[in-house]
A = this chain, B = another copy of it.
Amino acid sequence: MTKLRMGMVGGGPGAFIGPVHRIAAELDGEIALAAGAFSSNAARSRDAGERYRIDPARAYADLDAMLAAEAARDDGIAFLSIVTPNHLHLPAAKAALAAGLPVMSDKPATATLDEALELRRLVRASGQPYALTYTYSGYPLVREARARIAAGALGKIRKVVVEYPQGWLAGEASGKQAEWRVDPARSGLGGCIGDIGVHAFHLAEFVTGLSVTELFADLAAVVPGRALDDDCTVLLRFDNGARGVLMASQIAVGERNGLHIRVYGENGGLDWRQETPNALTLHHSDGRTEIIQAGDAALGPDARAATRTPGGHPEGYLEAFANLYTDFARLLRGEPAPLLPGIDEGVRSMAFIATAVEASARQAGWVPLLIPGE
């Protein structure tokens, strides 16, 4: 059995997320990066190809050129991985789907909700697999949390607190990573809400199995002169009546990547933190507090399948990311991958961003989270 050949668009010099996708895709040995349109600058794309150690002939300066050339090869790419800034997600996905290729896209799906709706049409029409790297849903203990809640371990869910504090944009935004994130033209409507708030949103729905139906949003651009929000609080209502609080911030000095979720139900509570991802705290209604760790015998099949090493050998962000690619490989083989976020999650997320931005701007109290076309 040979490896699945991956093409990449974006991920050229200076990019953080390109190499991460490459590592994640290849980690489990099922996928190999084979070609890329890493940059629209030919020299830079070639440089990137060299660093990725792919065949120099397969480092393209243009996505269309890549799709055409690869389609002509016997060993052409089997899918496209999109790691560009947000505003290029839609055109890239569109081109790949048109070329008959499945798509694995960095989040968010697109730059705007309208684009996401368009993409949903295209994906549905194409019949091709499409997935989104909501990375944090790839952590084994996040999947364990989801499985336990689905099995009723907490009873009816009453309260969700999900937060995502970072501090790296507390001062002036400098560096390639920072600059596009604070630029509406490249980032889309949302700043912090679109960059990390949406991860928190997806995690909350993923873990609880519930859907947000209504929200109240307070988004702020705290750093003087910033055009996009860098600090957000969103109150949530879920479809079962549960309440939620979502906080995301890029000005929380000293916080690295503090994604953290707590869920409380009638009969229990749970607590998971991304920065120490291999432990899950479970509170039982009889007062017992249990620490569940990656590798434990008590883990369910989802968590076990998402773990490579025995207990106490920490896996991290790259392995969580790899779990999404491994799920995606399953899809490409025609197997189910029910935990992998797809276009519907992409549309929900874009609707969440758009609704939160608008609600915060209008200060009109609670607003419904409506998903067009559903």
Contacts and interface: CB of A to CB of B under 8 A. Distances in A.
A2 B218 contact: no
Interface string A296-320: 1110000000001111111111110
A30 B53 contact: yes
Given A23-B29, A53-B3, A249-B159, A283 B309 contact: no
Interface residues of A, number: 94
Contacts of A53: 1-3, 29-30
B318 A315 contact: yes
Interface string A42-62: 000000001111000000000
Contact of A290 (B243, B249, B277, B288): B288
Nearest to A364: B365
Given A26-B26, A53-B3, A276-B276, A269 B297 contact: no
Contacts of A165: 262
Number of identical protomers = 4
A121 interface: no
A308 B318 contact: yes
Interface string A305-348: 00011111111111100000000000000000000000000000
Given A235-B218, A363-B366, A365-B365, A310 B16 contact: yes
Interface of A: 1-3, 16, 19-20, 22-23, 26-30, 50-53, 154, 158-159, 161, 163, 165-168, 170-171, 177, 216, 218, 220, 222, 231, 233, 235, 243, 245, 247, 249, 251-258, 262, 264-269, 271, 274-278, 281-293, 295-298, 308-319, 363-366
